Amino acid sequence: METTKIVCNKEFQIDRVDSRLFGSFLEHMGRVIYSGIYEPDNRNSDDDGFRQDIIDRVKEMNVTTIRYPGGNFVSAYHWEDGVGPKENRPHKLELAWKSIETNEFGTNEFMKWARKTNVNPIFTVNLGTRGTEDAAHYLEYCNFSQGTQYSDLRRSHGVEKPYGIKMWCLGNEMDGSWQVGHKSAEEYGKLAAETGKVMKLIDPDIELIVCGSSLSSMDTYPEWDMEVLDKTYDIADYLALHQYYAGQEKGTKFFLAQSLDMEEYIHTIRSVAQVIKKKKRSKKDMKFSVDEWGVWAVPSNTVNNEIDDKPWQIAPAISEQIYTLEDALLFAEMQMVMLRNADAIKIACQSLLTNISACIMTEKGGGHWLQTIYYPFYYFANYSKGIVLNTTSVGPTYCCEEFDHVPYVDSIAIWNDKDGELILFAVNRDEDNEQMTDFVLSEFTVDCVIESISMTATDKKMTNQYDHNAVKPKNVDNVELYDEGVHMVLEPLSFNMVRLKIK
């Protein structure tokens, strides 16, 4: 059997991992908020109505950053509806998902939850139905100390000290025709530039994220990104990229090869940003925020039917995707793509945290269980600390629809220089065969194997929906040390992590 050879040298480094790469996303959609993280009547909830069992899981996952409150939801949202006494908050038609928003959970509830959960917030302002003035008022409410209309409004709501929220998205997916207030790149770019200018007058220390393309398949990609950056390069700190993949019906080889599209997507946008940098004669390197990403397992027509069948309800159960082993492998590959671009991608938010395209599923009035995708997130977030290494790989490949020369083994190496560990991640895309993998280590001397885990299943379509422990990692003895490095045997269709102690 042919072996995949991966050369790994301590001196060949991409960049240090930004902890914000392990973020997630909360939107007022379906049961993400209500009965997802907030359910006052649940036996697991604390005095503030927050589900303590979910807070514990988020800490265990090591989620570092949460984007809020949307998402499509934000493009018609009035933030003022979600602050102040709950008995005075209005019920509103929520246009993005055709539901009723009670506004029982809003800005101050989210910030209290974020502090209990130890996550950094990313707030999104409404540039769909509102604009610059509203964004300035929202920032004033959140970040200005006192003595003005909106800072004093916050203080009247029992929050004396400003939140000091540092990361702000200027709208959401404004390139999408589905977006309330959809705009052309020129319209959005001008609005985002003016909004960002005003917001930085109020708080010069904030970081601003402008909307890039919502998918690599958008008709306007990459012209949208070029036009928006041309308008906002001086004021923006990050360009947002969103990406979801489906296509399970096209077969495993195609489905798992889609991470190559994500790699190309990111490389293209990085090139676009470099062109605008030169055009502007700027010294600033644009950074990127993949603040919505994930695997999509529900056909869009099904989601639309669910919404149409349950219009104008409060927190209806819609688009509650159940993930397979196969889905978890592509999910892990997407995480590796972002880590391989750690020199440019500094923020990433897996979408969403609970119940919709989620790591965690909750039972209304009951407990919770973990999806297959929870485990790759957990291992990357807890062990990808240090420096991403620039590895070179050669080994067996396959071809399929749209993709040529797809490696059977996808991998990445992280050098944790602080703790003296080398962490190796690998996915075996081959559904029929084990894959032999040699990590050839240069400038490293391995002392021992700390841990080796593998996640696979007897059926690639297996989920954790009924047997909550059906698909989860296990400790394995699949690593052999030799003079030049490490030999690993990867099970068919498996996610793997090995931690090595370095002398």
Phi and psi (nearest 5°) for 407?
Answer: -65, 135
User: Which residue blocks in 252-401 are alpha helix, DSSP H?
Assistant: 252-257, 259-280, 300-309, 325-340, 374-383
Of 27, 39, 173, 227, which one is the catalytic site residue?
Answer: 173
CA atoms within 13 A on the CB side of 415: 23
Of 292, 326, 421, 491, which one is the catalytic site residue?
Answer: 292
Nearby residues of 83 by Cβ (< 8 Å), 6 or more positions away = 106, 107, 108, 141, 153, 154, 157
**DSSP H/E element including 440:** strand 435-442
Quick check: is 292 catalytic?
yes
Q: Structure tokens of 12?
A: 């060949």
Spatial CA neighbour of 56 closest among 290, 455, 362, 329: 362
Phi and psi (nearest 5°) for 199?
Answer: -65, -40
Q: What is the dihedral of CA 139, 82, 57, 299, to 10 degrees?
A: -100
Spatial CA neighbour of 71 closest among 198, 193, 187, 214: 214
User: Which residue is listed with tokens 């590796």?
Assistant: 336
Q: Rounded CA gap, 484 and 438, in Å?
A: 9
Integer CA distances (angstroms), 284 to 21, 188, 191, 344, 445, in order:
21, 22, 21, 12, 38
Q: Rounded CA gap, 501 and 415, in Å?
A: 10
* 26 contacts 400 by C-beta, under 8 angstroms: no
The count of residues in the chain is 503
Quick check: is 227 catalytic?
no
Strands in 81-166 per DSSP E = 92-94, 99-101, 120-125
> Using omega within 30 degrees of 0 as the cis cutoff, is the peptide bond preceding 69 cis?
yes
Query: Can you tell me whether residue 396 is helix, strand or coil?
Result: coil
Q: Structure tokens of 128?
A: 């769909």
Q: Residue 37, Cβ neighbours under 10 Å: how many? A: 27
Q: Structure tokens of 46?
A: 């604390």
* 500 contacts 450 by C-beta, under 8 angstroms: yes
Active-site residue numbers? 173, 292
